[in-house]
Chains A and B, each alone.
Chain A
Amino acid sequence: MLHIINRSPLSDIALESCLNTATGGDILLIEDAVYAATSGNAFEGKLRAAMGRFKISVLRPDLEARGLSDRVVEGAALVDYAGFVELVAANKTCQSWL
């Protein structure tokens, strides 16, 4: 399953709830959720701990917009909009944690 998150981990529990609930699969961080994958963020530890169960992808245009494309945590993959579509197509189901 593909899990899509679009909220900052420090102002909304969507990502934390996803990590605590889902058993594994792909996670795509978009919009304000990209902050979760930046080094030095207080959520970094929880994201790293989840990397064994989940494959973490981050939407590059959203990182660039926020001036943070140079500090993505190691182990997270950067994808563009085509990569977003590929993730959706590759997964049988897709859940947006709104």
Chain B
Amino acid sequence: MSDIKKFMFVNRKAPYGTIYALESLEVVLITAAFDQDVSLVFMDDGVYQMKKGQQTKGIEIKNFSPAYRALDGYDVEKLYVDKESMDARGLTEDDLLVDVTVLSRAEMGALMDEQDVILSF
């Protein structure tokens, strides 16, 4: 279908400290519901959104991290994480909630060039 566009969501903020991570997730699910080609990027502090083991009972905020595991149910399967950002935060792929594609900065930049729409959070 010609009306399918390539949407990229660029997530650069840590979860809970601001509302951006949760809002991004909401818009991702809406976009997927319209059968668009959705990619999610996690870079800079955004890689923290993917961290396993989040327990939010103590701060009385909803833990939305399990939703990342449900994304493939909405045909959102293109998840990209920036390697440099993980390295700077002492994180490895084993620390992440779901399987992702790890990219270098150069690869990430090239992927951005392929998109029709980019939304930043």
A residues contacting B by CB (< 8 A) are 6-8, 10-11, 31-32, 35, 38-42, 44, 60-62, 64-71, 80
Can you name the residue of chain A whose Cβ is closest to the Cβ of B95?
A67
CB distance from B27 to the nearest CB of A (A): 21
Q: Is A65's CB under 8 angstroms from B45's CB?
A: no
Query: Which of B47-55, B68-76, B110-118 is the contact stretch?
Result: B47-55
Q: How far is the CA of A70 from the CA of B63 in the complex (A)?
A: 18
Contact check: which of B55, B63, B90 meets A40 at CB < 8 Å?
A: B90
B residues contacting A by CB (< 8 A) are 12-18, 44-45, 48, 51-59, 61, 63, 65, 88-91
Q: Is B58's CB under 8 angstroms from A60's CB?
A: yes
In the A-B complex, the 6 residue pairs with the closest CB atoms: A40-B90, A61-B58, A32-B17, A67-B53, A67-B51, A42-B88
Main secondary structure of the interface of A (DSSP, over half): loop
Given A40-B89, A65-B55, the answer on whether A35 and B48 have CB atoms closer than 8 Å is yes
CB distance from A58 to the nearest CB of B (A): 13
